[in-house]
A = this chain, B = another copy of it.
Amino acid sequence: MLYLVGLGLSDETDITIKGLDIVKRASRVYLEAYTSILLVDKEILEKYYGREVIIADREMVESASDDILHDAQNIDVAFLVVGDPFGATTHTDLILRARSLSIPTTSIPNASILSAIGATGLQLYNFGQTVSMVFFTETWKPASFYDRVRENRNIGLHTLILLDIKVKEQSLENMSRGRKVYEPPRYMTVGQCCVQMLEVEGMKGEGGEGLGGVYGEESLAVGAARVGGRTEKFVSGTLKQLCESDEVLGGPLHSLVLLGRRTHELEHDYVREFAVDTEVWDRIWKRDYEGQT
């Protein structure tokens, strides 16, 4: 049996009782370590589980999945995924490969950022499609997120924006020379995301909201850090304000929610507690959000 076990969002104690039981008795245990990360190291997990954990990087999962699945017709293999097992496409792919090898599969759900983001106080019913933001470079600024945010905002919905992480990446130079030397991990911050969003709006839109754009410097948003963890932190404000929020938010992982206009009074009451500047928040809320449908 192949078990896909969700680990939740924060530390070693976020695994479920059912999940931990499987980890303890599986023949091999892999940890998927490139679409998301826990806030604790592999060593802490190993100590907690009382056993070895094999790190499965992108290369292994995408090109050596048969190693992971080896003999799983006869033995139990646990594949651990931060958050919920179905958060990333890769895992669907792994299950399809298991199916084609007649290996039965079971998944153990856990918290995902897609639902845990409800801790901002924003109603999950008011969210549209989720988008991702990648690190821009000088020459590569993919803006497909922009059209999807537009679709959400056209119908008044919030957008959860998941932020890029770069783990075990090679520099172009090392890659071209075939050197397996990896850069330090990088995690996009809410500040970087807001800067990139405003940059794209500047290129694609016509000067922001109300002028043909999708959003603007005064659009309201909530920055989230370490959701579900003991040091969880939220900051709400305008996109412009959140460009400067990294220090308040602290370490990774970060996510961002851009508000839609279709809001509920309870959302307002809840989210304004996190405002960088309550006066600004209230003024813009009243002007652009309150009572909109």
Contacts and interface: CB of A to CB of B under 8 A. Distances in A.
Nearest to A120: B86
Contacts of A107: 119, 228
A107 B125 CA distance: 19
| Copy count, this protein chain | 2
Interface stretch (A7-15, A68-76, A186-194, A246-254): A7-15
A228 B21 CA distance: 16
B157 A129 contact: yes
Interface residues of A, number: 57
Given A126-B129, A269-B96, A115 B114 contact: yes
Given A16-B17, A86-B124, 20 more contacts: A8-B109, A8-B110, A9-B109, A16-B110, A84-B116, A84-B118, A85-B118, A86-B118, A86-B119, A92-B270, A95-B121, A95-B270, A108-B228, A109-B227, A109-B228, A110-B111, A111-B111, A112-B124, A114-B124, A125-B129
Interface of A: 6, 8-9, 11-18, 20-21, 83-87, 89, 92-93, 95-96, 99, 107-112, 114-116, 118-119, 121, 123-132, 151, 155, 157, 227-228, 264, 266-267, 269-270, 273
Contact of A18 (B14, B124, B266): B14
Contacts of A228: 107-109
A14 B116 CA distance: 16
A169 to B, nearest CB: 22
A241 B116 CA distance: 34
